[in-house]
């Protein structure tokens, strides 16, 4: 290090964008090149994780389960008393413009709304008329629906669920899920299932299911888990296909003895789980229920995408 070394003008992000080098992003009413989109360091999303988000998948240039994501966004905002500055049609227009401007065929759109710039850092919320900060950006994920993990299955480890008790609100407080994911990777697994009082809550960024004797078992909705939009769609389709569903908690032992296990999320759709800690699930390959649900979900999602 020499005294003449100029400090970097911006912190190196470390992350390489997967979409156009200069993708167009949305910030508070403007469409901007990503390097020109700036948010205040006083923004409560930055200093307090006082923000909520949604991630919507794009298949064939269309949005999957969009109304569900909008309904959950409304709910997250109202639980936190953050004003929703736009309506669903406005958000739809922004999503569509980002898809078009960034040439997204298969990929994701991320939306985040924070309580805005509260000035000096304060635990007290800023005045209710403080404008929320609205950010959206997207990225291409070619082959999103052809994930090879659908054929191999995922491996998971179980870890204690050390998150807060309002997991039904989709906030950007993602540090513990991120730590759990890193721990899973360090143990050679793909992901972690989180456990509280001996019962599985959900995955780090997905809902968790097991299948036993043809019954699909998944934790009931409560403040303990995120109310997955993919979960709602998959359970509806499973019911329509005359499958039996039990919405109840299950232990790690029960999961390890299950015939099948799987996860759902907007980015993974339905993915089988073939190992939980040291236990092989079923035959150790994706089972028929998870495979069928993935197929039905993708088929119906493509049809209903807007």
User: Which positions are annotated as active-site residues?
Assistant: 170
Residue 102 is a binding residue for ligand PDD (CB under 6 A):
no
Candidate ranges 111-119, 222-230, 238-246, 251-259; the one touching ligand PDD (CB under 6 A): 222-230
Burial class (CB in 10 A: 0-12, 13-18, 19+), 279: middle
Residue 229 is a binding residue for ligand PDD (CB under 6 A):
yes
In what order do the strands lie in the sheet containing 133-140?
A: 30-33, 24-27, 133-140, 107-114, 51-59, 62-63
Q: How far is the CB of 212 from ligand PDD (least distance, A)?
A: 21
Residue 265 is a binding residue for ligand PDD (CB under 6 A):
yes
Nearest to ligand PDD of 76, 230 (CB atom): 230
Beta bridge partners of 183: none
Candidate ranges 23-31, 95-103, 227-235, 283-291; the one touching ligand PDD (CB under 6 A): 227-235
Candidate ranges 73-81, 84-92, 264-272, 279-287; the one touching ligand PDD (CB under 6 A): 264-272
Q: List Cα–Cα distances, 297 to 147, 211, 232, 266, in angstroms.
A: 14, 17, 11, 11
CA distance from start to end of the chain: 54
Interface pattern 266-285 for ligand PDD (x via CB under 6 A): xx------------------
Taking Cα atoms as reference points, which of 169, 54, 32, 170 lies closest to residue 110? 54
Candidate ranges 11-19, 40-48, 223-231, 290-298; the one touching ligand PDD (CB under 6 A): 223-231
Q: Binding to ligand PDD (CB under 6 A): which residues in 190-219?
A: 202, 205-207
Phi, psi of 157 (to 5 degrees): -115, 155
Nearest to ligand PDD of 76, 265 (CB atom): 265
Interface residue with ligand PDD, options 114, 117, 158, 230 (CB under 6 A)? 230
Q: How far is the CB of 236 from ligand PDD (least distance, A)?
A: 13
CA distance 230 to 269: 7
Q: How far is the CB of 196 from ligand PDD (least distance, A)?
A: 13
Contact by Cβ (8 Å): 218, 290? no
Residue 226 is a binding residue for ligand PDD (CB under 6 A):
yes
Residue 264 is a binding residue for ligand PDD (CB under 6 A):
yes
DSSP symbols for 55-92: EEEEETTEESSHHHHHHHHHHHHHHHT----S-HHHHH
CA distance 188 to 150: 18
Interface residue with ligand PDD, options 27, 37, 47, 55 (CB under 6 A)? 55
Residue 231 is a binding residue for ligand PDD (CB under 6 A):
yes
Q: How far is the CB of 9 from ligand PDD (least distance, A)?
A: 30
Q: List Cα–Cα distances, 101 to 1, 213, 274, in angstroms.
A: 42, 48, 39
Query: What is the size of the binding site for ligand PDD (CB under 6 A)?
Result: 14
Q: List Cα–Cα distances, 261 to 151, 155, 167, in angstroms.
A: 14, 10, 22
CA distance 249 to 169: 20
- What residues make contact with ligand PDD under the rule CB under 6 A? 55, 202, 205-207, 226, 228-231, 264-267
């Amino acid at each position: 290090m020499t005294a003449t070394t100029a400090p970097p003008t911006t912190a190196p992000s470390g992350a390489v964008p997967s979409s156009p080098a200069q993708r167009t992003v949305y910030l508070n009413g403007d469409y901007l090149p990503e390097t020109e989109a700036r948010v205040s360091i006083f923004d409560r999303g930055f200093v307090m994780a006082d923000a909520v988000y949604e991630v919507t998948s794009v298949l064939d240039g269309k949005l999957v389960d969009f109304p569900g994501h909008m309904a959950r966004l409304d709910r997250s905002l109202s639980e936190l008393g953050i004003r929703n500055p736009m309506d669903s049609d406005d958000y739809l227009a922004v999503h569509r413009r980002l898809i078009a401007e960034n040439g997204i065929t298969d990929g994701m759109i991320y939306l985040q709304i924070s309580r805005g710039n509260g000035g000096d850092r304060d635990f007290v919320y800023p005045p209710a008329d403080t404008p929320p900060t609205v950010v959206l950006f997207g990225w291409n994920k070619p082959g999103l629906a052809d994930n090879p993990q659908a054929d191999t299955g995922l491996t998971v480890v179980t870890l204690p669920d050390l998150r807060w008790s309002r997991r039904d609100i989709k906030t950007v407080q993602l540090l513990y899920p991120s730590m759990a994911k890193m721990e899973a990777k360090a143990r050679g697994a793909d992901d972690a299932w989180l456990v509280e009082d001996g019962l599985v809550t959900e995955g780090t960024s997905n809902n968790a299911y097991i299948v036993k004797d043809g019954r699909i078992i998944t934790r009931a909705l409560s403040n303990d888990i995120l109310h997955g939009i993919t979960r709602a769609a998959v359970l509806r389709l499973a019911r329509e296909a005359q499958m039996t569903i039990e919405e109840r908690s299950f232990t790690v032992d029960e999961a390890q003895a299950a015939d099948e296990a799987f996860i759902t999320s907007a980015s993974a759709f339905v993915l089988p789980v073939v190992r939980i800690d040291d236990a092989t699930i079923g035959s150790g390959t994706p089972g028929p229920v998870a495979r069928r649900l993935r197929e039905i979900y993708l088929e119906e999602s493509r049809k209903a995408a807007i």
